[in-house]
Structure 1
Amino acid sequence: MDNNGSSHEPNNNKRGIPFLVFFKDARLIFKLDALSREILGIAFPAALAVVADPIASLIDTTFIGHLGPVELAAAGVSIALFNQASRITIFPLVSITTSFVAEEDTIQRLINKETETDNIENETITKENVEAPKKFKGETDESNNVVAKSTFTSGDVEKLATGNMGINNENVTSSTKSKPKVGKKRIASASTALLFGTILGLLQTAILTFAAKPLLYAMGLKHDSPMLIPAEKYLRLRSIGSPAVLLSLAMQGIFRGFKDTTTPLYVIVSGYAFNVLLDPILIFYLKLGLKGAAMAHVISQYMMAITLLLLLMKRVHLVPPSIKDLQIFRFLKNGGLLLTRVVSVTFCMTLAASLAARLGSIPMAAFQPGLQIWLASSLLADGLAVAVQTMLACSFAEKDYNKATAAATRTLQMSFVLGVGLSFAVALGLYFGAGIFSKNANVVHLIKISMPFVAATQPINSLAFVFDGVNYGASDFAYSAYSLVLVSLVSIPIEILLFRSKQFVGIWIALTIYMILRMLVGIWRMGTGTGPWYYLRKGPWCYMRGHSLP
C-alpha cells in the first residue's frame, strides 16, 4: 500500500470479467488529470518526431522533382528500398530498446531509493546513539534531584561520534558518504542497443552498396531502364548514412525509455531543417544534382546521430563495466520475434499493393493515396503507442499493477477517440478533396469508392497500433509476434479470394478484415487476462473502481 492508498499488488480475493477493464474510468477520458498529462507529455513529442520524417521527405522530393521525371522516379524507387530495409532492421531494435531501458532504469531508481531510505534510517539511529549520553560532570539528574558524576567526558562524546568507541562511523556519516549521487546512469540495455545499431547499420551499408543493382531489379527496374543508373548511384550514396540512421533510431528508443521524447524531437527537427537547407545548395548551387540530394540526407543524418550521442553521453555510461553486462542474447531473442512480426505485416501490405497493381494503372493510382491516408493514423497513434509502452514497462518493473492497468486503458480510450476524429476528417477530406490526387474522373471515382473503408477503419487502426505498444510495454514480444503471424496467415488467402471476387473493393474489404483481426488479438490478450495480464483474472474489480494514482 503506497502513501495514497493504492495497492501495488493485485487483489487476489475478488473476481470479475477482465474484458470490462477496457471501460475503466472511461468518464475521465476528456479530463486532463495527472495520468492524461503524463501520457500526452510523452505521446505528443513522439508523434511530432514521427511526422517530421515524411514531411522532410516530401520537401526533399520537391527539390529532386525539379531535376526531371527520371531523377524523381529513380530517387523514389531508391528511397522506398532504403526505407523498407531500414524498417526491417531497426523496428525490432527500437521497440525492445524502449522497453528494456525503461525497465532497467526503473529498477535502478527503486534500488537507489531503497538505499537512500536505509541510509536515512541508519543516520537517525546513529544520531540517537550519539545524543544519548548527555550527562556530563556537574549535570543534575532530574529523576533523583541530585548532582551526578558521569563517567563520560566531552572528549569521550567526541570519540563516540567519530566511531572510536565501537559505533560504526559509516552510519554517522551515511548521509554524506552513501547518498546516491545524481549523475550518469549505467544502463546495460542502452549500450547493447548502440552495439546492435552500429552492427546493423554497417551491415545495411554493405548490402545496399554491393547488391544495389540486384535489389533495384527486384523493385521492378529493367536493364534498359533510364532510371537504373541514377537510382543505383543514389542508393549507394544514401546507404553510407545507414549507420547514422540506425544509431539515431536506437538512441531515440533509449530516450523514450527514459520517458524523454522532447530531446529527440528537437534534434530530429533541427537535423531535417539542416537537410532542407543543404538540398538547394548541393543540388543546384554546386550542381551535384541527385548526388547532392543523397549527400544532404547523409550529412544531416550523421549530424543528428552525433548530437544525440553527445546528449546521451551526459546521461549514460555508454561503455559497460564488462561485456557480460551486455544483454546480447535477450536482444537477439526478442528482436528475432519482432523481426518475424515485421516481415508478416510487410508481406500483407505489399500483397495488397501488388494486387491493386494487377488491375492496371488507374486502380493503382486510386489505391495508393487511399492506402497512405488509411495508414495515416499510425503516425499519430504511434505517439500514444510509445507513451503506453514506456509507462507500462516502468509500471511492470515496479509491480504497480494499478498504474499499468490505468495507463493501458486510458491510452486505448484516447486512441479510439483519436480514430473517431480521424474518421470524420478523412471522410470529409476524401469526399470533397479526392480531385486533388488526380484529374482523371475514373481515378477520382475509385478513390470515393474506397472512402468508406478508409474512414470507417480509423478507430480500428488506432486501437491496433496502440495495442502494439501495450504488448511491447508488457514485454509480451512472443505473443505480439506469433499472433501477427497467425493474423497474416489468415489474411493472405482472404486477400486473394476477395480480390478475385470483388476486385478493387475486395482489396479494401480484405484490408479491413486484416486490421480488425490485428485489433482483436490485442483485445483478446488483455481482455481475457492472460500472459502478463494474469492479475486481472485474480481481481479485476479493484481496477474497475478507480484509485488515486501516486
Structure 2
Amino acid sequence: MNQASAPPKNGRRRHDREIIALAVPAFGALVAEPLFVMVDSAVVGHLGTPQLAGLGIAAALLMTAVSIFVFLAYATTAAVARRVGAGDLPAAIRQGMDGIWLALLLGAAVVAAALPAAPWLVDVFGASDTAAPYAITYLRISVLGIPAMLVVLAATGVLRGLQDTRTPLYVAIGGFTANAILNVSLVYGAGLGIAGSAWGTVIAQAAMAAAYLFVVVRGARKHGASLRPDAAGIRASARAGVPLLIRTLSLRAVLMIATAVAARLGDVDIAAHQIILSLWSLTAFALDAIAIAGQAIIGRYLGAGDEKGAREACRRMVEWGIGCGIVLGALIVLARPLFIPLFTSDPSVKDALLPALLVVAVSQPIAGVVFVLDGVLMGAGDGRYLAWAMLVTLAVFAPVALLVPTLGGGLTALWWAMTLMMAVRLITLWVRTRSGRWIVTGATR
C-alpha cells in the first residue's frame, strides 16, 4: 500500500459488497472440505478402534498430498482474474483449462507413486500392526480420488478467478452430502467396512470434479475457448505454481516443527497443542475466506489496469482483516469456558491450554492482516516474493521453536514462537505491499 488517502465512503461500500459476496461463500466451501474427513471418521469409528486408527493415518497422508497442491487453486485464481479484468473471457477460461490439465497430470503421477508405496508410507507414519492393514486399504482406494481432488482445486481457482465463489459452495455442499450417504450405505448397507468408506469418498470426489468440469466446459463452449491440452500453457501454469508450492511446503514445515516441539514437551503439552491447533485452523478458514476474495478482486483490478482500485481494495481488505482478527480473538477468550470441555476434561491439559490460548487470541489481528496480504500478493501473481518471504519466516521460526524445550516456557512459549512467525510474515508482506512492486497491471504478469 502507499500513502494515498483512504477511498471515499461509497468506494469502501463497493469494496465491502465485493468482499462479502466472495468471502462468505468461500468460507462455506472451506468449512465443507474438512467435513469429509469428519464424516468418514464418524462412520468408520463405529467399526472399531483399529479401523479408526488406520483411517487417521491414511487421512493424514491424503490431506498432506492435497494441501501440497493447493497452488493449483491459488495460481489459477490470479491468472484467470487478470484476464477477466482485461475483458478477455475466452483467454481466462483457456488459462483455467491449462490449470485443470496440469491437475490431471499431477494427479496421475501421485496415483502411480502412491499405490505401490502405500505400505511403506503407512509404516513411516508408525502404524501399529492392527491398524496398518486398514490404513493401507483406505489409502490405496482413496488415492484413486486424488486426480479428482486436484481437478476440484484447479477448477475452484477458475471459478474464483471468474468472481464466482457460490458454485464452489454448492458443489462442496453436494459433495459433503453425497459422501455422507455413500459412506453409510457402503460401509454398513453393503458391508464393505473401511473400504466402503474409501470408495464412498472417491465417488463423491469424482462427482464434484464432474460438476466443476461441466460448469467450466459449458463456459468454454459459450465463449469459444479451446478445451484441448496446450503444452505451453500447462508449462506456464506449472512455472507459476512452483513458488507457491515452495511457500506451502515452508508453511507445512512450520506446523510440523511446532508439533514436533510440542511432542518433546510431553503428553500433556502435545494434547493441549492439538486442541489449540484445531482451533487455530478453524479461525484460519474465516481469515482465508477474505484472502480468497482478495485473490479474485486484486487480480481483476490489475488485469483491468486499475492500479488505484487495486490499492483501495487492498487497504479495505486489510481493515477487514484487522476487524475480523479482533472479533475472532475476543470470541476465543469469551467462548473458552464453552469449547474447552468439548475437547478435554483433564485438569493438567486445561492448565497447559489456557495461557497458550490467550496468546493465540492476542495474535488474531496479526493473523488477519497476514492472511489478507497473502491473498493480495497471490492475486497479484507475486508468488516468487511469497516463496522467499516464507523461507525467511521458516529460517527465523525454526531455531526459536527448537530452543523452547531447552529454555523453558512450555506450550505458552511455543505459541509465542508461533506468534513471532506470524509477525515475521506480517513484516515481510507489509514491506512488499508498501513498496508497490506487486502492482503489475495487464492480462499477464
Q: Same fold (TM over 0.5)?
A: yes
2:1 is the alignment partner of 1:24: no
Q: Which of these residues, 254, 272, 283, is aligned with residue 348 of structure 1?
A: 254
What pairs up with 1:489-504 in 2 under 5 angstroms? 489-502=395-408, 503-504=410-411
Do structure 1's residue 513 and structure 2's residue 415 form an aligned pair? no
| Offset of residue 217 of structure 1 | 2.1
- State the AA in 1 paired with 2:50: V
CA distance in 1, matches of 2:437, 2:14: 28
**1:412, CA displacement in angstroms?**
1.4
Displacement, 1:534?
A: 8.8
Instruction: Work out which of the residue numbers 410, 413, 418 in structure 1 matches 2:324.
Output: 418
1:185 to 1:511, Cα distance in 2 relative to 1, 3 A:
closer
Distance 1:191 1:19 in 2: 35
Query: Which is richer in helix?
Result: 2
Greater Rg over alpha carbons, structure:
1
CA contact (8 A) 2:2 2:436 kept: no
Which residue of structure 1 aligns with residue 71 of structure 2?
92
Residue 308 of structure 2 corresponds to residue 402 of structure 1: yes
Q: Which residue type is aligned with residue 188 of structure 1?
A: R
Q: Given the alignment, which residue of 115, 124, 132 partners 1:228?
A: 132
Matched, 1:438 2:344: yes
Tell me how far 1:407 sits from its aligned partner.
0.9
Q: For residues 173-252 of structure 1, what are the structure 2 equivalents within 5 Å?
A: 187-221=93-127, 225-252=129-156
Distance 2:154 2:439 in 1: 28
* Whole-angstrom distance in 2 between the partners of 1:72 and 1:19: 52
Matched AA of 1:292: G
Please state if 1:459 is matched with 2:439: no
| Structure 1 match to 2:432 | 525
Distance in 2 between residues matched to 1:42 and 1:331, nearest whole Å:
24
TM superposition shift of 1:458: 1.3
Report the alpha carbon displacement of residue 501 of structure 1 after superposing the two structures with TM: 0.9
In 2, the alpha carbon distance for the partners of 1:242 and 1:534 equals 34
Mapped partners of 1:360, 1:321: distance in 2:
54
- Given that residues 191 and 320 in structure 1 are in contact (C-alpha distance below 8 angstroms), is that contact kept between their aligned partners in structure 2? yes
Gaps of 5+ in 2: none
Counterpart residue type for residue 198 of structure 1: L
Contact 1:78 1:234 in 2 (8 A): yes
Give the letter aligned to residue 360 of structure 1. G
1:311 aligns with 2:290: no
Which fold has the larger relative contact order, with Cα–Cα distance below 8 Å and residues 6 or more apart in sequence? 1
Alignment partner, residue 471 of structure 1: 377
Alignment partners' CA distance in 1, 2:423 and 2:9: 26
> What is the one-letter code of the residue matched to 1:207?
A
Gaps of 5+ in 1: 1-17, 113-183, 536-550
Q: CA deviation at 1:328?
A: 3.0
Matches of 1:231 and 1:355, distance apart in 2: 26
Tell me the CA shift for residue 28 of structure 1: 5.1
How does the TM-score come out when normalised to structure 2? 0.93
One-letter identity of the residue aligned with 1:515: M
Aligned partner letter, 1:519: L
Quickly say closer, same or farther: Cα 1:321–1:348, change in 2 above 3 A: closer
- The aligned runs of 1:61-460 (5 Å cut-off) are 61-88=41-68, 90-109=69-88, 187-221=93-127, 225-317=129-221, 319-320=226-227, 323=230, 326-460=232-366
- Counterpart of 1:453, as a letter, is V
d(CA) in 2 for partners of 1:293, 1:280: 8
Residue 32 of structure 1 and its aligned partner are, at CA, apart by 7.5
Taking structure 1 as the reference length, what is the TM-score of the superposition? 0.76
Determine the C-alpha separation between the residues in 1 that align with 2:317 and 2:405: 35
- Pairwise CA distance, 1:55: 2.7
Once the two structures are superposed, residues 274-295 of structure 1 have per-residue CA deviations (whole angstroms, 9 ceiling, x without a partner) of 1111111111111111111111
Aligned partners of 1:185 and 1:316 also within 8 Å? no
Equivalent residues of 1:192, 1:327 under 8 A apart = yes
The answer to whether the 8 A contact 2:83-2:91 is kept is no
SS of the residue corresponding to residue 187 of structure 1 reads helix
Tell me: CA distance 1:534–1:290, structure 2 relative to 1, closer, same or farther (3 Å). closer
Distance 1:530 1:403 in 2: 13
1:43 maps to which residue? 23
Counterpart contact for 1:431–1:448, Cα < 8 Å: no
Distance 1:329 1:185 in 2: 16
Shift in Å at residue 47 of structure 1?
1.0
RMSD: 2.1
Summarize deviations over 1:469-500 as a string: whole Å, max 9, x none. Answer: 11111111111111110111111011112332
